[in-house]
Structure 1
Amino acid sequence: MLGSKQSAPAPTPVSFTVHQQSRTLEVAFDDGAVFSLPFELLRVYSPSAEVRGHGQGQETLQTGKRNVGLTALDPVGNYAVKPTFSDGHNSGIYTWAYLYQLGRDQVAMWEDYLRRLDDAGHGRDAGRDLSMTAKTAGGHGCA
């Protein structure tokens, strides 16, 4: 057809390797790309409504996910996987195109995540709210 542009299909994963010790998911694609995706990155950029919300500006900043683990990785048809994380989150469906995007753009996405954490006064560790740390630094917390 004249004037229509078809986009090439997204690369397809040919293998998944879960590395529990380094907390990464290695995904190799049929175009030769291999990405090592930290569990934390996968968790904080979950495509679920719980994380993304239902529209622009409804995203929920995920905090305290530095040590999140991956307890399961289940196939969803021939187009996605559904991970289960150690914090119980399991509602995100990661399409092949989204996994590829996470791998390709992970440096920029990571920097954006760290900036948003910093802007909100949060740290990457569970229970480490930098704004609360400043408020309780004087030793006036409950005992």
Structure 2
Amino acid sequence: MAITWILVANASLARLYANLGPKQGLKLIKELVHPESRMKNADLSSDKAGAFQASTSGHGSREQQTPPKLNAARNFAQALAKELYLGRSRNEFARAILVAPPAFMGMLNATLDGPTAQMVSDRLEKDYTKTPEPALCGHLESCILV
């Protein structure tokens, strides 16, 4: 039976499970924590907005275009996409299921390479990172035979 990887993630925590076939349940492969995503924007910034001399009169300042917290979440999504890429390139799974809140799901989808994205059979836009395994199996029963 083909192995299915299930990535259950949000911007600060991810759990990667494997399902080895019908009635096999879920096996936790890896847990990844990203504490930067829990920090406040002010704590992630190194300094206040940069000051510059305006071409007209007076002074101005520049705000960062992207909030630091959003950058931290994107970096975590890239790290998770790399995990899936490495698993695919090593033939460690035949298909994948992604479970993440809508905003983070968008980040994951944007960072997956083409061949890995094609292996994703199901996407659930929910945050089940704090859900115990038995309940998670119940939520995933339409996608896998647990």
TM range (shorter): under 0.3
TM-score normalised to the size of structure 1?
0.25
TM-score normalised to the size of structure 2?
0.25
Bigger Rg over Cα: 2
Kindly indicate which of the two structures has a greater share of residues assigned to helix: 2
RCO higher in structure (CA 8 A, sep ≥6) = 2
